[in-house]
Amino acid sequence: MKLKAAEKLLIRSPLRAYMLRRLEAPRVLSGLDVGERSVCLDIGCGSGMSTLLINEHLNCGKVLGIDIDPEMVTAAEEYVSHPPRWARNIRTDNIEFLCADATSSPFPDSHFDAIFLFGALHHIKEWKNVISEVYRALKEGGVFSFVEEPLVPDHLSRFGQSAYELVLIGAVPISEKELKAALEKGEFSIQHSERFWSVCFVRATKEGGNRHP
Ligand SMILES: C[S@@+](CC[C@H](N)C(=O)[O-])C[C@H]1O[C@@H](n2cnc3c(N)ncnc32)[C@H](O)[C@@H]1O
């Protein structure tokens, strides 16, 4: 789903920059063994800030940011070619953006060493297809590290999906339990999962085999 105008403002705001830089990027990107020849993907790149932060934390060969909204792809290209002052020393020559749908991405099988996602899943109704696509496009042993919000608490599931959709103003309700089940139904092995208020950080690796979520 494309973002509404207010959401587009929010993801370009100083508050979003603060959240991404101080809370999310350090947890999603720290301690990863991603080498200088690696190819990495940022799903739902939005403003391009999360894509740039991948380069701040990791020494990747290439970083690709995709977004379904052509307006966001243009904004991300502009952001990276004129980064804010705090980001001026971050490498940008290996970053590319592409307009693509994460539920049916154009990438070959086993293409990426690492795939990242910063809060895009709850904007995608077919979010389980994204997990299948991530699995398909990751190399064996590759890592899928992401942060997702807002997750519906498992103990509230008795109130039904429509109640959440109302409360979450159009966001797709995903519970932590559902998320882990979708990852485990495939061959993902969950290495780490951490809850911080309503935000959930997950790191999973692609194990061998043919099953998909
Ligand atoms: C909440 S924003 C997150 C942006 C950025 N990652 C950040 O952390 O600020 C979610 C982004 O996902 C994009 N998106 C929604 N559905 C998508 C899909 N099916 N495929 C790719 N991107 C999608 C939206 O256009 C939006 O830019």
* pLDDT tens digits for range 32-83: 989 899 999 999 999 999 999 999 999 999 999 999 999 999 999 999 999 9
Model pLDDT, residue 101:
98
Q: Output the residue whose Cα is nearest ligand 1's atom 14.
A: 44
The reply to whether 9 falls in a domain is no
What's the CA-to-centroid distance between 208 and ligand 1, angstroms? 28
The reply to whether 30 falls in a domain is no
Q: How many domains does the chain have?
A: 1
Atom index in ligand 1 nearest the CA of residue 46 equals 27
pLDDT at 163 over 90: no
What is the percentage of the chain residues whose pLDDT exceeds 90? 69
Residue 93 tokens, joined = 């020559």
How would residue 119 be classed by pLDDT, with cut points 50, 70 and 90?
Answer: very high
Model pLDDT, residue 63:
98
Contacts of 186 (CB under 8 A, 6+ apart): 131, 132, 135, 211, 212, 213
Span 24-39, average pLDDT: 94
Model pLDDT, residue 166:
47
Model pLDDT, residue 1:
79
**CA-wise closest residue to 25 among 101, 81, 90:** 90
Atom index in ligand 1 nearest the CA of residue 102 equals 20
Q: Output the residue whose Cα is nearest ligand 1's atom 17.
A: 68
Residue 98, Cβ density class (10 Å: 0-12 exposed, 13-18 middle, ≥19 buried): middle
CA distances from 122 to 74, 90, 125, 176 (A): 22, 29, 7, 12
The reply to whether 124 falls in a domain is yes
Span 180-197, average pLDDT: 90
Better pLDDT: 124 or 175: 124
Whole-prediction pTM: 0.92
pLDDT at 117 over 70: yes
The reply to whether 212 falls in a domain is no
Is-contact 101 70, C-beta < 8 A?
A: no
Please give all residues whose beta carbon lies within 6 A of any atom in ligand 1, as ranges.
1-3, 11, 16, 20, 44-47, 49-50, 66-69, 72, 101-103, 118-120, 123-124
What's the CA-to-centroid distance between 66 and ligand 1, angstroms? 8
What is the percentage of the chain residues whose pLDDT exceeds 70? 87
Model pLDDT, residue 159:
56
The reply to whether 195 falls in a domain is yes
Give the model confidence (pLDDT) of 70-107 as tens digits.
999 999 999 999 999 999 999 999 999 999 999 998 99
The reply to whether 29 falls in a domain is no
Is-contact 4 69, C-beta < 8 A?
A: no
Helical segments of 12-156, H only = 14-18, 25-29, 49-57, 70-81, 127-137
What's the CA-to-centroid distance between 108 and ligand 1, angstroms? 21
Q: Output the residue whose Cα is nearest ligand 1's atom 8.
A: 118
**Cα–Cα distance for residue pair 71/11, rounded to 1 Å:** 13
The reply to whether 177 falls in a domain is yes
Model pLDDT, residue 33:
87
Model pLDDT, residue 16:
92
Residue 36 tokens, joined = 């200088």
**CA-wise closest residue to 57 among 95, 88, 16, 91:** 91
What's the CA-to-centroid distance between 201 and ligand 1, angstroms? 17
What's the CA-to-centroid distance between 59 and ligand 1, angstroms? 23
The reply to whether 23 falls in a domain is no
Phi, psi of 145 (to 5 degrees): -120, 130
Model pLDDT, residue 212:
45
Task: Point out the least confidently predicted range of 124-128, 166-170, 177-181.
Answer: 166-170
Q: Which domain holds residue 140?
A: 35-206
Look up the CATH number of the domain holding residue 81: 3.40.50.150
